[in-house]
Amino acid sequence: MNTELIKQQAKSAVAELISVAGLQKGDILVVGCSSSEIVGETIGHGSSIEAAEAVFEAIYPILKEQGIYLAAQCCEHLNRALIIENECAKTYGLEKVCVVPQPKAGGSFATTAWARFESPVAVEEIRAQAGLDIGGTLIGMHLCRVAVPVRLEQKNIGNAILLAARTRPKYIGGIRAKYE
């Protein structure tokens, strides 16, 4: 596993998504990350703290510098709960739940976020403005209602496929409506 390559790929992906999605201070980026897929294993069967740390170390400083909240999606064993900063929970009025992710119950990326955030909390749901899905973790349930696929130049992180999305407001009003 080449952690420097993983960091480079993750930085490239998050920088491009921030730009394409037009993310701004206070927005939320949800990241689902299968460290197993990054290292070439099947999702849920080869958790790697090292791979998760590489992704986190690459993307978190970029997001923090721009004032964008990171929501780290847990695995299915924690019902895809999210680890966020307490400030994000307060800003968005999100209800906290009691759980601490572990590599085999929550996943390595969520575990890393819990360890590295200043004041981590867990929540069950969120409505993020954009998302990165590293390795087929199914982040769609945590995006705002109208998700739009984003085709990034970076197609993989390690061995994991990389999918991205931005969101937009719903169009309402029918034939007479005008849109921006």
Residue 180 has pLDDT above 80, yes or no: no
Is the pTM value of this prediction over 0.85? yes
Q: Which residues lie closer than 8 Å to 65 by C-beta, 6 or more apart?
A: none
> Which pLDDT belongs to residue 27?
98
Confidence of residue 55 (pLDDT cuts 50, 70, 90): very high
pLDDT at 166: 98
In the chain, where the domains are located: 3-9+40-126+136-170
Q: What is the mean pLDDT of residues 98-119?
A: 96
pLDDT single digits (tens) 124-134: 999 999 999 99
pLDDT confidence of residue 177: 83
pLDDT digits (tens, 9 = 90+) for 18-37: 999 999 999 999 999 999 99
DSSP string computed for the chain = --HHHHHHHHHHHHHHHHHHHT--TT-EEEEEE-HHHHTTSPTTSS--HHHHHHHHHHHHHHHHHHTPEEEEE--GGGTT-EEEEHHHHHHHTPPEE----BTTBB-HHHHHHHHHSSSEEEES---BSEEEEESS---GGGB-SEEEEE--S--EETTEEEEEEEEEPPP-SGGG----
Report pLDDT for 165: 98
| Mean pLDDT of the chain, nearest integer | 95
CA distances from residue 168 to 129, 145, 146, 152 in whole angstroms, order as listed:
8, 8, 6, 18
CA distance 75 to 94: 19
Which CATH code is given to the segment(s) 3-9+40-126+136-170?
A: 3.40.50.10360
Is the confidence at residue 106, as pLDDT, over 80? yes
Residue 39 — very low, low, confident or very high, per pLDDT cuts 50/70/90?
very high
